[in-house]
Every structure is written in structure tokens, then in C-alpha cells.
Amino acid sequence: MNELNDTGSPAEGSQGHDIARHQPSRRSFLRTSLAASLATLGVTGAGSAFAELTSTDGATRLAADGSPRRTVIIDCDPGQDDAIAILFALGAHDQIDLKALTTVGGNVPLNLTERNARIVRDWADKTQTLPVYAGCPKPLMRELITAANVHGRSGLDGVTLHEPRGPLEKQHAVTYLIDTLRAAAPGSVTLVGIGPLTNIATALTAAPEGAKALREIVIMGGAWYQRGNITPAAEFNIYVDPEAASIVLGAGVPVTVVPRDVSVKAPITPERIVPLRALKNRCGPIVADIMAAEVAYQKGRIGVESAPMYDPCTVAYLIDPTMFGGRRVNVAVETTGLLTLGETVVDWNGRSKRPANAMWLTDVDADRFYDTLLARISRLP
């Protein structure tokens, strides 16, 4: 996926990978810029007072949390692997009650991510029952950088796309998130963030009281033992909107991070695509085609027939956290570094004395992951 971004030419429709241009002129613009965005949405009184979580060291292998079904919203930028993640979640309907897709500018511009989300729900026959909301078209303080060089101009290279059969919701994704969290019972909603975190950060800043409704935010983003995929230091989702990532990690809600460290341990290979392609439903071959396009891309780039498995790992974590290992640590985002913008700085050894603010996943049982993916995709139309 964004393996290419570090060496590829600037993506179509993007501002290119000019790090200097991606810097804010002043850090204090963040609050001003965010307030302006919120005012546009008719949201006032934004604050940012979030409690820090207490530091504890977690077990290396995660335990099942025992709950039968999670209420989930996926905030996404489809995006090839986002599409697989959405289908994966829909195939796990016994465990995941997917309420909505909220979309953000990321892999491709917002007009395409919201369109692609509506196409993906059609594939799963969810046109009428899974609402799609469009959110922020660009990061909080920066111009949008896309990964269209990886995902294709449409954002969904590898598959034939139809005209979406259902409309986009009229409400802005951020106001949907705010309204939903305000109305939800404490600890009842899981947000899955698999694109730049602009929508989620904006919602949490505008309505910090909504944070109490969150059971967990699970994000795909960052890298520590593995390095970046858009710059040597940064992973794409965090790099595109580092201020948003910093806000989410500082929001005082339980955050689980699925970084590149995990994604590269569950690589997509031609062998792992075969059983998905053999499924007799519609969605199996679609997922296989997307995965094949991801592998082909990496083959063209570095001559290797495998690709990291990114966004779907977040859904696997919801379905069965016991297939992952990780530890609670402090994670901070570099928002000013000239060469390290968007780096996720993981305090693995407790040097900073900053309290833990996230569960950082490091390991995955890849065979269990692919067995789980196959089983859930096989349930779809």
C-alpha cells in the first residue's frame, strides 16, 4: 500500500510529498483552524480538556473482552484495504453492529472516498441499511496528501466500479459523530479510524463530553519497530493529519493502535488470496481482486509478491483480540519535525515518564487472521 509512497512520485490530485509545504506556519493555528472548521459545522464551544489515562503495562497477548456484539462506526478513506475492512466487519455481523461509515479525505479526495464507501456497501447488499456520511475534505492544518499512486485514481484499483445505488447522507460526518456520541450510553460505541483522523479529532474537540460514550477507538496508523511508508519516519494516516492523530491520542479515551509493526506480520500473498477467490459469493472474488492489486503494486515497486495487511487488522482485533499481542505505552505524534513529521514516538521503555495513552499492537497470528477473514467474507452475498 503506502510502501510506495516513500519513493513514488507525488500522488494524483495531491500536493505532493513536499515536507516543508506540509508544515504549519504556526502551531497555534491548530486551535484557530479547528475552531473555524467547527464553526462551519455550526458547532461552538469546542474544548480540549481530556484526562490522561493511567499507565499500566499490559500483557503481551491480549485477552478476549467477552462482550458479544460491539456498536461500531468506521471512519475511513476507501481505499483498497478500507474496502476489505468494511466488508470484513459486515461479514462479522454477529460480533459487530456496524452503524455507519464516515468518510474523510485521505487515500483519494473526499468525493471519491464517500463514493467508494457507497459502492462497497452495495457489494454487501447494505445499500439501504448502512448510512454513509462525508466528513472533512482536508486535514486540520495542512493540504491533503493522497495515496492515489497506490490505490489508483479511483481509490479502488483492481475492481470494476459501478455507480453507487444509494445516496450520501446529508448530514456532515462530524455532526453525525457528535450527535451519535452525545446520545449514546457511556462506553457503548467503538470508533474504528482507518484513515487520517481528521473527523474523529474534530468531533472530540467539538464535543469532548461525547468521549464518555466511547468504549474504544481502534486506529490503523503509525509505525515504531517498522518505519514509515510515506516518509522514512511516518506512516500515511498519521502523516496526512498529524495534529488530528495527536488530538485523538490525547483525548483520554481508550485507544488501540494497529501500526505497520503488525501489518507487515500478516502479509498478503498469492497463496492467501486463493481461498478468497474460490468463494462462490460476490464479495470473495472482489476481496481477492483488491488484494491481488495490492500485491501486484508491491511487485512492481520492489519485486516482492506480498503486501502489508493494513486496515482489516483493526476489524480482526474487534472480532478476536486474542490473535494480537501488544502493550500499553505512551504514544506521541511528531507535529513539527522537518524530517520526522508524523512519526509516532512510542515510549517502549518508559523513558519519557509520560503516562500510557494507548494499547500499541506489535504481533498478530497471521494464519488465524486469514482464516478469520475468509470465514467472515464467506458469509457475505
The least CB distance from residue 151 to ligand BDR, in Å, is: 6
- Which residue, 252, 256, 257, is CA-closest to 212? 252
DSSP output for 10-72: PPTTS--S-HHHHS-S-TTHHHHHHHHHHHHTT--------PPPPP-PPPSBPPP---S-EEE
Q: Which is nearer to ligand BDR, 101 or 356 (CB)?
A: 101
**Binding partner selected for residue 229 from Ca ion, ligand BDR, none, CB under the kind-specific 5 to 8 Å limit:** ligand BDR
Residue 147 binding target from Ca ion, ligand BDR, none, CB below 5 to 8 Å by type: ligand BDR
C-beta of 206 vs 220, nearer to Ca ion: 220
Work out whether strand 331-333 and strand 324-329 pair parallel, antiparallel, or are unpaired: unpaired
Return the number of the residue (79 or 91) whose C-beta is nearest Ca ion. 79
Q: Per-residue x/- marks for Ca ion, 306-335, CB under 5 A?
A: -----x------------------------
Q: Distance between CA 309 and CA 369 in Å, rounded?
A: 10
Which residue ranges make up the site for ligand BDR (CB under 6 A)?
1-2, 79, 81-82, 107, 147, 194-195, 220, 229, 235-237, 310-311
- DSSP-derived pairing of the beta strands 358-364 and 324-329: antiparallel
Residues 77-96, interacting with Ca ion (CB under 5 A): 77, 79, 82
Q: Which residue has the cell 497463496?
A: 271
| 251 grid coordinates | 483525548
By a kind-dependent CB cut-off of 5 to 8 A, residue 317 interacts, out of ligand BDR, Ca ion, none, with: none
Nearer to ligand BDR by Cβ, of 213 and 273: the residue is 273
Amino acid present at 309: M
Residue 241 C-beta: closest distance to ligand BDR, Å:
12
Distance of CA 297 to the CA centre of its chain: 20
Torsion sign across C-alpha atoms 257, 262, 266, 268: positive
Nearer to ligand BDR, 152 or 210 (CB): 152
Q: Answer yes or no: are the C-beta atoms of 131 and 101 closer than 8 Å.
A: yes
Lay out the site mask for Ca ion across 177-216 (x = CB under 5 A, - = otherwise).
-----------------xx---------------------
Output the nine-digit C-alpha cell for 147: 495515496
When the beta carbons of 79 and 164 are compared against Ca ion, the nearer one is 79
Which residues of this chain interact with Ca ion, rule CB under 5 A?
A: 77, 79, 82, 194-195, 311
